[in-house]
Structures are given as C-alpha cells and as structure tokens.
Amino acid sequence: MTEGKEGFGDDAIEAARRLMVGPVAFLKSAPTLEFLPDPTVREVAFAGRSNVGKSSLLNALVNRNALARTSNTPGRTQELNFFEVGEPVRFRLVDMPGYGFAEAPKDVVKRWRHLINDYLRGRQVLGRAFVLIDSRHGVKPVDGDIMDMLDAAAVSYRIVLTKADKIKATDLARVTAATADAVRKRAAAHPEIIATSSEKGLGVPELRAAVVEAIT
C-alpha cells in the first residue's frame, strides 16, 4: 500500500490533501524579528535558492495559483511570509526568503543571514524545514550554508528536489541518490529525499503528508 508514496499510507496522504487544499490565508510578512506573529501554532518552513521553484511548490501544495508570489526579484523578498492553514488554524507555512543571488549586495546577504538565523534559533513552534534543491543542479555550496544553519540550530529538515519533470527518470534517480549522499552526515537532515514537480503534480501528495507529519 505504501509503495511509491514515500512511506505514507493512503489515509495520511488523503488527510493531508484535505487539510492543505482547504482554507489557507496569508497572515503577514516579517522583514525583522519584531514582526514575527505570535507563536501560537506549529510552523513548517520552506527554504531554497531563488528560482528553485519554491513559490510554485507552495502554491501546488495548497492547490492555489497565486498564494505565494512567483519570480522573486533579487534582493526584494527579504521577509519571512506566513500563511495559515486550516479553519480553525492548524499550522503555518513559512516562506523563507530565497538565497543565492550571485549579484546580491553584501548587506542584503548579511541581513538575510541574521533574519534566518534568529528565526531558526528562536522559534520553538518550528516543526521542520524543507530545503528545496533544483533537481537539475543538485546541492550547491549556498544550499550547504542553509543546512549548516539548520544543523547548528538543531531544526530538523528534509530535502525536496524540485522541477523533476525537467530531467529524465534515470537522471532523477542519480540526483536523488547523490543528494541523499550529500546530507547523510548532517545531524538534522532527514535521510529520505522527496522528488517533486509542481508542473506535473509529482510528489506533491507525499510532500503534503510530510508537512502534516512535521506538525503532528
């Protein structure tokens, strides 16, 4: 029954789908820690290089077209964006600012590091982070930076490959294995990788289940 579903049973997959395609609302943006919402419910955060497909995947998870804004411009989205899922609210999705712009000014990068570090270290309601990696590129040094921060903050995280439709199945298998290898020795990383495509819906039901698992 669980074959091909990342270890999640049909019931868990369906429960996660029902929750996440139900009521979802933008709560607020936090450019600095003072703007964080009160930690009243569990949170699940999404991180990734700019253009990795984070907005598209967040939208696919909640089955909306434009909840998270796509195509972020360099240096613009330096906020944490909070979305509330469920009515009454069951948990929050947190869209972390994209990283890895080659041309990003030093002060922008510094501000990003501070915001992320402070959030990761101080947020007890944070259940898990998902770190998105473009399946065409694999793990890059900037991805290593965010994983270092997560490991140091002892926030558990799971790697999600994006845009899996853009490569051949054999290449996806190779990248998945290489990515699992790259995180094997990392203290807070989940050993199993989830491959997704927002375009084709691949892996989206399983990722929903993994999100719900992180807050229960």
Angle at 182 between CA 180 and CA 183, to 5 degrees: 70
Q: By CB under 6 A, tell whether 198 contacts ligand GDP.
A: yes
Q: At its nearest, how many Å lie between ligand GDP and the CB of residue 31?
A: 18
CA distance 161 to 177: 11
Q: At its nearest, how many Å lie between ligand GDP and the CB of residue 162?
A: 6
Please pick, from the candidates 16, 36, 45, 52, the single residue that binds ligand GDP as defined by CB under 6 A: 52
Residue 50 amino acid letter: S
Look at the alpha carbons of 167, 97, 55, 74 in this order and tell me if their dihedral is positive or negative: negative
Which residues, 6 or more positions from 22, have their beta carbon under 8 angstroms from its beta carbon?
Answer: 85, 86, 87
Residue 79 burial by Cβ neighbours in a 10 Å radius (0-12, 13-18, 19+) = middle
Draw the binding track, 81-100, toward ligand GDP (x: CB under 6 A; -: no contact): -----------------x--
43-48 and 157-162: which strand pairing?
A: unpaired
Please give the residues from 147 up to 176 whose contact with ligand GDP meets the rule CB under 6 A.
162-163, 165-166
Looking at beta carbons only, is 195 or 209 nearer to ligand GDP? Answer: 195
Q: By CB under 6 A, tell whether 40 contacts ligand GDP.
A: no
Q: By CB under 6 A, tell whether 127 contacts ligand GDP.
A: no
**Exposure b/e, 152-165, CB count within 10 A at least 16 = b:** ebebebbbbbbbbe
Please give the residues from 128 up to 147 whose contact with ligand GDP meets the rule CB under 6 A.
none
Please pick, from the candidates 4, 38, 40, 71, the single residue that binds ligand GDP as defined by CB under 6 A: 71
Looking at beta carbons only, is 98 or 205 nearer to ligand GDP? Answer: 98
CA distance 107 to 88: 39
Q: At its nearest, how many Å lie between ligand GDP and the CB of residue 57?
A: 6
Contacts with ligand GDP, residue ranges (CB under 6 A)? 48, 50-56, 70-72, 98, 162-163, 165-166, 197-199
